[in-house]
Amino acid sequence: MPGSSTITVHADREIHPSRAVAPPIYQTAAFWAEDGETFARGAVEPRGKDFYTRFGNPNHAQAAAVVAELEGTEAAMVTASGMAALTTAVLALVSAGDHVIGQKSAYGGTGSVLLNLLPRLGVSTSVVDQTDPEAFAKALTPRTRLILVETPSNPLLQVTDLRAVAELARAHGVPTLADNTFATPLNSRPADYGIDLVWHSATKYLNGHTDVSAGVIAGPAELLNRIWDVGLLTGATLGPIDAWLLLRGMRTLPLRVPRHNANGLALAQALSGHPAVAKVHYPGLASHPQHKLAASQMSGFGGVLGIEFTGGFETADAFLGKLRYSLRSASLGGVESLAVHPASMWRGMLSEEQIAESVPLGLVRLAAGTEDTADLVADALAAADAVLTMTANA
């Protein structure tokens, strides 16, 4: 089995014939067929690559081949965004009357699917404390058809015991779907621990350059074929140029992730114990309550940390204003550091009460890019010192 750096450079090579070293962009909505039989076959070939771009495109197949090999799964498919990956998978796997289990700490869009969208469609949901594997077992009902996990979670960096959830779900014949956006397959491969399906906001680390909105789902071909069937109807198709940019971004994923990991850890260590900071949430810190579990299923801890300020919302906001290198922005996972106040950002997806239950008001999510570690640490410490002086003078 080749290593991840070889996979990201070569896994797509056989997908479509061309002698171009960089794959061509198949900027076409449709492909022509030589005869009726070939045409008819193309219309039903799951995740095919040359019938109609909503059904599949060579650029989709190339990006998917790299993702599947990185995640260690049989197959993968790409979608127009991370949320398209999630909603397409969920619509394919559950129906009215079914029950879905998710986590209390999860990305706001995932939270909204669980708390707002699915109940509206007649699907009941339970959100559980993912730090307690027993909580998943307690929430199981005879109607449970899907368990959604996200580890580490956005933005509290809580860790889910992937082995425990997978074992429980398999014992009850319930498929599991893990959001692996924060970890990336370089730091953790949920399928290695028995998780059935893995999805990503590929907008983040997989692309890595903040110039594409994309999603991916990886897993067994049989489940992906069912998801692809629904994807034809939701039509959340990734454009060929964006699929090409995703593939181009993934070529350097194994080079970028170690730097994100180093920067995330250095920032978490530097900010822990700063007098303006109440708590740093980062699973790589030995003081993180789930550090041992994290270390058992992750080889690195990623670039994202949660910084909770003693001064609450105002101090968090002032800190964001003082950072020089980390721009105030909703995304993460790119080469540039970005920071955001999650409680403000998620207002479009969750109610005030739902936000209050999942995110502390004084929390900043800082996503370390690939800049020099010393520069990021000096910048964050200077911003923390500045907000401390402001609070003292207030």
Ligand X SMILES: Cc1ncc(COP(=O)(O)O)c(C=O)c1O
The minimum distance between CB 198 and ligand X, in angstroms, equals: 12
Nearest to 215 by CA among 228, 202, 229: 202
Annotated catalytic residue within 26, 107, 193, 205: 107
Q: Which is nearer to ligand X, 53 or 210 (CB)?
A: 210
Q: Is 242 a catalytic residue?
A: no
Asked whether position 215 contacts ligand X by CB under 6 A, the answer is: yes
Q: Long-range contacts of range 319-322, CB-CB < 8 Å, 24 or more positions apart? A: 319/276, 319/364, 319/383, 319/384, 319/387, 320/364, 322/382, 322/383, 322/386, 322/387
Task: Assess 179 for contact with ligand X (CB under 6 A).
Answer: yes
69 binds ligand X (CB under 6 A): no
Q: Measure the CA–CA gap between 98 and 360, rounded to whole angstroms.
A: 31
How far apart (Å, rounded) are the C-alpha atoms in residues 162 and 335? 28
Q: What is the DSSP letter of 271?
A: H
Q: How many chain residues touch ligand X (CB under 6 A)?
A: 14
**The 3-state secondary structure of 194-232, one letter per residue:** CCCEEEEECCCCCCCCCCCCCEEEEECHHHHHHHHHHHH
Which residues inside 342-361 make contact with ligand X, applying CB under 6 A?
none
Asked if 107 touches ligand X (CB under 6 A), the answer is yes
Per CB under 6 A, which region of 40-48, 165-173, 175-183, 334-342 contacts ligand X? Answer: 175-183
Strands 99-103 and 75-79: unpaired
> Is 306 a binder of ligand X (CB under 6 A)?
no
- 58 lies in the site for ligand X, by CB under 6 A: no
Q: Does 249 engage in binding with ligand X (CB under 6 A)?
A: no
Give SS3 for 392: helix
End-to-end CA distance of the chain: 60
> 163 an active-site residue?
no
Residue of this chain nearest to ligand X (CB atom): 82
The half-sphere exposure of 346 on its side-chain side, counting CA atoms within 13 A, is 29
Q: Which of 52, 54, 259, 328 is catalytic?
A: 54
Considering beta carbons, is residue 150 or 196 the nearer one to ligand X? Answer: 150
| 88, 158, 187, 201: residue in contact with ligand X (rule CB under 6 A) | 201
* Binding of ligand X by 79 (CB under 6 A): no
Concerning whether 204 is annotated as a catalytic residue, the answer is yes
* 190 contacts ligand X (rule: CB under 6 A): no
Residue at 270: amino acid letter = A
Min separation Cβ 85 and ligand X, Å: 8
Q: Given the rule CB under 6 A, which residues bind ligand X? A: 81-83, 107, 109, 150, 154, 179, 181-182, 201, 203, 213, 215
Question: What residues are labeled active site?
Answer: 54, 107, 179, 204
